Amino acid sequence: MSEGTVRLRPPRNALDRRAIAWWRWQWALVFAPAVFVLALLGLLIPPAAVWLLVPAAVLALAGAVWCVVLPRWWFGLHRWEVTETAVYVRSGFLWQEWRVAPLSRVQTVDTLRGPLQQRFGLATVTVTTASARGAVKLSGLDARVAADVAERLTERTDATPGDAT
Amino acid sequence: MSGWRRLDRRTLGVTAVLLAGITVSAGTPIAIGTRSLWLAPAAVLFIGGGVLADYVRWRHTRFRCTAERLEVEFAFVAHTRKSLLRERIRGVDLTANPLHRAFGVAVLSIGTGRDEKITLSPLARADAEALRTELLHRIPEPAAHDGPLAILDPRWIRYAPVSFVAPALGLSAFGALFKVADWFGAGGGLLKWLLNLFGGLSLAVSVLLLLVLALVVGVAGAVGLFVEMWWNHRLDREPGGTLRVRRGLFTTRSITIEERRLRGVELVEPLGARLAGAARVDAIATGMKRDDGKTEAKTLLPPAPRAIAREVAARVTGEPVTDVPLVPHPPAARGGRLRWALLTALAPVLVLLGLGALLTDVLLVLGGLLAVVALPVAVLLALDAYRGLGHGSRGRYLLMRAGSVRRSTAVLARDGVLGWTVKQSVFQRRRGLATFTATTAAGSGAYSIRDADADEGLAFAVAAVPEVLEAFASVPAEASRT
């Protein structure tokens, strides 16, 4: 890492490899409808065909590059770790972000599996504290790992007295 | 006090007068318009029905305060019962609008700081006070009175016109005027009449005069609002560990904040107030809903001279937190602010100039004028924002200062920090800066040290709250803790 980076060490664990495919599909589902609509209109309205088909092609190409290249890069940036005392997550590149929530302050642990995530056997664990803005999200974990993490965190949280504010 | 009790009977009077007021004010125009007689019996029916409903509510509502719980029961057809554990009660607020005051009653609302809330509307004023004391001061202590922490000085009213409320009120007054005129299809006529008010003056001068008029109206409104909100303001520390704010000219309010819930205070200096040398003190407390902002429940001290605001902050937190020298942020943070300010100011100027070159010279002139006004303002704000940046610590508190248009110095208790979020954009990384955000259950949920030196800021954040970031910092915290 370059000189000015915050001196926080990277969390120990990478996400599950399947997260790359998951991200690809997510973005494909963003690009595809736009390309489809443009192309369809281009075919249905012959006078404006060029004005619609060219943007459609450009968008399709950009989307393809986006979906192929970026997720692989993101994979290296997103890391997570759960220690005896805290949950620690790193994410983002243009706006890199490190989040730490001590387990003694955790209030709820939620596991979420969207339709796409289920398809890839992935899950997202959201760890919230009493702060409205302090949630820590571990997304793109293997579903079994996620269940394990959630269980461990829940045990720890139940053991903590008080309302963690 | 453990038997079942009732609300105050005078609620019937309050309801009757309120409904009569509504009937008269809404009914008069209709009566004038339609000249029909059926309005009178309808009005009587409306008021009578309302009072009857209120009678049923009063007759069948009872409450009691046992050793453990506060219970409210309503038993008429359906049966509802609410109860709060007394030890979980966090706030007991009293409100009395002019009508309540005329009848000598007040509304008591009791909350746990979460979603549960009981409102007793209304109780006799003395009973409400007594119940408040009973609910809050579970351990009766000898009154160790060291006088109020703050009392409103009427001279502080001079800070009302410099708030952002003034222009907003002025413009919205005009807006409302035009809206009403528009309902009657007279919007254009009103504008013409207003512009003709100034005789033969040119359009530009007339518009300018109208703006001045709006500002005068706004200032008057802001002063009025300030007086209504803050008259008789008084901040006390009460035995039993609560802070109490009492205020209001027509509607009187009493707001209680438990010190257990307090995670610090925020010294807020909006630009206008800061130029006038004033600052406001807000509480950073848990369990205050964000939508409570409308009544400014969190404000402990209205805009007051800065020295007084600092003293109040120090007395509330119990430490001289406001005379700590703060660590300034690296000059790179100034460069970033200047760039952003110039970009935001230049964008509309360039658009105007571009359009002007294509379309008409008028836009060129406008663009030039905007550049002359906006660029220096942007630069000044950016420099001021940089000067405002700083962080430090004192005893059990962390201090974080930022902002220019709304400068805020957050004084946050270390043990109130739940976790840290560190953010670094590409630009920040190049310049060795980072933003450190402490998350908390209180106040706005997160308070940030913006654009601090990446290493120094991390060392500060590590040292500030033990055992949160320490394990993840790759530089030993001791080495950089100077």
Residues A104-114 have a mean pLDDT of 87
Yes or no, beta carbons of B454 and A4 under 8 Å apart: yes
**What are the Cα distances from residue A46, in Å, to A16, A49, A59?**
46, 5, 20
**Domain ends where: A27, A48, A74?**
A74
Per-residue pLDDT tens over the stretch A9-23: 999 999 999 999 999
Long-range contacts of B380-387, Cβ-Cβ distance < 8 Å, separation of 24 or more: B381/B341, B381/B405, B382/B334, B382/B337, B382/B338, B382/B340, B382/B341, B382/B342, B383/B334, B383/B337, B383/B338, B385/B337, B386/B329, B386/B333, B386/B334, B386/B337
42-81 of A, contacting B, C-beta below 8 A: none
Is A121 a member of any domain?
Answer: yes
Residues A120 and A143 in one domain: yes
Residues A92 and A54 in one domain: no
Is A8 a member of any domain?
Answer: no
Q: Is A7 on the interface with B (CB under 8 A)?
A: yes
pLDDT confidence of residue B478: 44
Is A65 a member of any domain?
Answer: yes
Chain B closest-CA separation from residue A33 CA (Å):
31
**Domain ends where: A74, A92, A112?**
A74
Residues A68 and A84 in one domain: no
CATH number of the CATH domain containing A96:
2.30.29.210
**What are the Cα distances from residue B459, in Å, to A11, B213, B466?**
19, 53, 11
pLDDT confidence of residue B293: 45
pTM of the shown model: 0.84
Considering only CB atoms, B471 lies closest to which of A85, A95, A133, namely A85
**Site from B439, B444, B451, B467 to mutate, A interface, most A CB atoms within 10 angstroms:** B439
**Site from A1, A5, A7 to mutate, B interface, most B CB atoms within 10 angstroms:** A7
Residues A61 and A23 in one domain: yes
| CB-count exposure of residue B461 (10 Å: 0-12, 13-18, 19+) | buried
Residues A106 and A147 in one domain: yes
Buried b (16+ CB within 10 A) or exposed e, A65-87: ebbeeebeebbeebbbbbeeebb
Is A165 a member of any domain?
Answer: no
Reading chain B (482 residues) residue by residue, the pLDDT tens digits are 458 999 999 999 999 999 999 988 888 877 777 777 778 888 899 999 999 999 999 999 999 988 888 889 998 888 888 888 888 887 888 999 999 999 999 999 888 766 678 889 899 999 998 998 888 875 555 555 567 889 999 999 999 988 888 888 888 888 888 888 877 777 677 777 777 776 667 778 888 888 888 889 889 999 999 999 999 999 998 887 889 999 999 999 998 888 888 999 999 999 999 999 999 999 998 876 554 444 467 899 999 999 999 999 999 998 888 788 999 999 999 999 999 999 999 999 999 888 888 888 888 888 888 899 999 999 999 999 999 999 999 989 999 999 999 999 999 999 999 999 999 999 999 999 999 999 998 888 899 999 999 999 999 999 998 888 888 887 544 444 33
Yes or no, beta carbons of A129 and B419 under 8 Å apart: yes
Residues A88 and A42 in one domain: no
Within 8 A of A99 by CB-CB distance, chain B residues are 419-422
Within 8 A of B418 by CB-CB distance, chain A residues are 101-102, 105, 129-131, 134, 164-165
B477 touches B466 (CB < 8 A): no
Q: Is A134 on the interface with B (CB under 8 A)?
A: yes
Nearest CA in chain B to A99: B421
d(Cα B481, Cα B118) in Å, to the nearest integer?
49
Per-residue pLDDT tens over the stretch A22-57: 999 999 999 999 999 999 999 998 888 888 999 999
Considering only CB atoms, A6 lies closest to which of B422, B426, B437, namely B422
Considering only CB atoms, A133 lies closest to which of B439, B457, B475, namely B439
Under 8 Å CB pairs connecting chains A and B tally to 118
**Domain ends where: A27, A57, A74?**
A74
Q: Specify the range with the lowest mean pLDDT, choosing from A114-128, A149-163, B131-145, B234-248.
A: B131-145
Residues A152 and A119 in one domain: yes
d(Cα B174, Cα A87) in Å, to the nearest integer?
53
Residues A40 and A60 in one domain: yes
pLDDT confidence of residue B25: 87
Q: Is B425 on the interface with A (CB under 8 A)?
A: yes
Q: How many domains does chain A divide into? A: 2
Within 8 A of A136 by CB-CB distance, chain B residues are 419
pLDDT confidence of residue A165: 63
432-471 of B, contacting A, C-beta below 8 A: 432-434, 437, 439-442, 444-446, 454-455, 457-458, 467-469, 471
Considering only CB atoms, A134 lies closest to which of B419, B433, B458, namely B419
Domain around A119: 79-159
Nearest CA in chain B to A132: B445
Considering only CB atoms, B421 lies closest to which of A85, A93, A99, namely A99
The CA-based angle B267-B272-B276, given to 5 degrees, is: 80
Q: Is B348 on the interface with A (CB under 8 A)?
A: no
Q: How many angstroms from the chain centroid is the CA of residue B72?
A: 30
Is A100 a member of any domain?
Answer: yes
pLDDT confidence of residue A164: 62
Q: Is A162 on the interface with B (CB under 8 A)?
A: no
Yes or no, beta carbons of A6 and B454 under 8 Å apart: yes
Residues A65 and A125 in one domain: no
Q: Is A85 on the interface with B (CB under 8 A)?
A: yes
Within 8 A of B454 by CB-CB distance, chain A residues are 4-7
Q: Under the phi-then-psi rule, with left for phi > 0, alpha for psi from -120 to 50, and beta for the rest, what region is B35? A: left
A106 touches A164 (CB < 8 A): yes
Is A139 a member of any domain?
Answer: yes
Backbone angles phi, psi at B269, to 5 degrees: -125, 90
pLDDT at A7 over 60: yes
Yes or no, beta carbons of B445 and A134 under 8 Å apart: yes
Residues A60 and A112 in one domain: no
Is A5 a member of any domain?
Answer: no
Band of residue A87 on the pLDDT scale cut at 50, 70, 90: very high
Residues A48 and A31 in one domain: yes
Is A40 a member of any domain?
Answer: yes
Residues A85 and A100 in one domain: yes
B461 touches A13 (CB < 8 A): no
